Chain A
Amino acid sequence: MKPAPFEYLRPASVDEACEALASDPDARVLAGGQTLVPMLAMRLSRPSILVDITRLADLQGITETAEGIEIAAATRQAVALKSDLIARQVPLLAAALPNVGHPPTRARGTVGGSIAHGDPSAEIALAATILNARIVYIEDGEEVEFEPEDFFIGPTVTMAPMGGLMTRVIFPKKPAGRVGAGFHEIASRRSDYAFASAGAQVVLDDDGACVQALLGIGSVGDVPVAVDVSDLAGTRLTDDDLKGAIEAALADLDCVDDLHATATYRARAAKRLAFQALATARENAA
């Protein structure tokens, strides 16, 4: 038994969960537990009480609404990976999901949990950042929304309200036109934390000219970042177009040095992966 002692609560409703979280500053949400339980085992986290939200029906499911594709916070990653709705309407997230952990961690890990943890190498967080998904919390009975760019502020540091509970993440629906997405990453082992990752989405018109291009880079710095490749609009997305846009967009990319990879390596890998992601998006849109 490695974790320090804590209490366990399985609330019957979202309200009860919120109450428990708000009433004790050391209470923590237990969702899939695929990151929290290791942190407990290493005693990096010592909550007083864990509020287990995994069985709350209101926090499960993927629905299409006027606003977008809403993924309830405790929806398991394995469920999201099998979702036709996500495959059809949020192709970039669908491309990112197979890279999230491996089957046993996806079977328990949740979409909301991955975002709430704020790991800079998290694929779901990167997809959310690129697509500007909205992250919805309940705080003091009120809903508060965050854009990813404001939400992720450092490695595993977010703007999540103290005592709040994430209820859902709303991804925008796929725009009109021919849409393609690509996601590539590099890690020392399959399913391990990536050293660098890149996701891209392009929209082409009927002639095959680019109408919109989105690109984002994860794992290289403190937070996932969306970078500006809007210059690609109007081009035919030739390899040279892609390379030119990537050089300009990633010129000032912040990369960190650590045990696993140097900043120089990460910067080079980011460019290469950005090219692969955009090229895959282009092929998928064709």
Chain B
Amino acid sequence: MKTDLTVNGRTYGIDVEPRTTLLDALRDGCGLKGTHAGCEHGVCGACTVIVDGEAVRSCLMLAVQSDGLDITTIEGVAPERGELDVIQDSFCETHGMQCGYCTPGMVLAAKALLGVNREPTDEEIRDAISGNICRCTGYGQIVEAIRLAAKRLRESNALAMEAGE
């Protein structure tokens, strides 16, 4: 079946079997390997992407269901090639990753949270990543990373407002 996916602002025309998950379509059809395949049946959160502003598991959507939706993957998070987004940078700063397998999913879950809540409590941060499993870093530093990212986003907004932007 032919389907058009809109990923990180770009349209990819792909031809897939109906049973192809959005995860496989992103990785194999669009060549965006940053979205990680973990369990491939909805348990681990490694495949998390943002669809229309909300974090979703790309292994639990079919590619043929996803046309016309606004999809953001980890490749679409940084402002420029070679740069890091505030959230990614905060993960580096607080050692919020070791092997990095869960990291794209964690970053996108965090991004979805910070898109609607600039002042999340630790409880809210934990809730936002409750569907994401990390097997090595430990959740403490991941929560710390998201807390730091939220703080930086608030501060940069305050600076922008002072500058009259």
Contacts and interface: CB of A to CB of B under 8 A. Distances in A.
A104 B48 contact: yes
Nearest to B65: A52
Interface residues on chain B, size class = 20 to 34
A104 B109 contact: yes
A102 B60 contact: no
A2 B41 contact: yes
A34 interface: yes
B59 A37 contact: yes
B61 interface: yes
A1 B17 contact: yes
A3 B54 contact: no
Nearest to B47: A104
Contacts of A40: 19
A4 B42 CA distance: 17
A189 B126 CA distance: 12
Interface stretch (A5-13, A89-97, A244-252): A5-13
B112 interface: yes
Contacts of B64: 8, 10
A1 B20 contact: yes
A108 B109 CA distance: 14
A193 to B, nearest CB: 11
Interface of B: 1, 17-21, 24, 40-43, 45, 48, 51, 54-57, 59-62, 64-65, 109, 112-113, 126-128, 130-131
A107 B65 contact: no
Contacts of A5: 17-19
Interface of A: 1-8, 10, 30, 33-34, 37-38, 40-42, 50, 52, 54, 78, 101-105, 107-108, 189-191
A8 B21 CA distance: 13
Given A41-B41, A41-B42, 17 more contacts: A2-B41, A10-B65, A30-B65, A37-B21, A37-B42, A37-B59, A37-B60, A37-B61, A50-B62, A101-B131, A102-B127, A103-B128, A103-B130, A105-B57, A190-B126, A190-B127, A190-B130
A260 B60 CA distance: 25
Is the contact region of chain B dominated by helix, strand, or loop, or is it mixed? mixed
A104 B59 CA distance: 11
Nearest to A32: B60
Nearest to B64: A8
A5 B54 CA distance: 28
A156 to B, nearest CB: 16
Select the residue from A5, A52, A105 with max chain B CB neighbours within 10 A. A105
Contacts of A38: 41-43, 60
A102 B42 contact: no
B18 A107 contact: no
Select the residue from B1, B24, B48, B131 with max chain A CB neighbours within 10 A. B131
8 contacts: A1-B24, A3-B19, A5-B18, A8-B18, A8-B64, A33-B61, A37-B42, A108-B60
Nearest to A102: B131
A141 B59 CA distance: 34
B131 A103 contact: yes
Nearest to A42: B41
B123 to A, nearest CB: 10
A52 B3 CA distance: 15
A107 B130 contact: no
A54 B68 CA distance: 13
Contacts of A6: 18-19
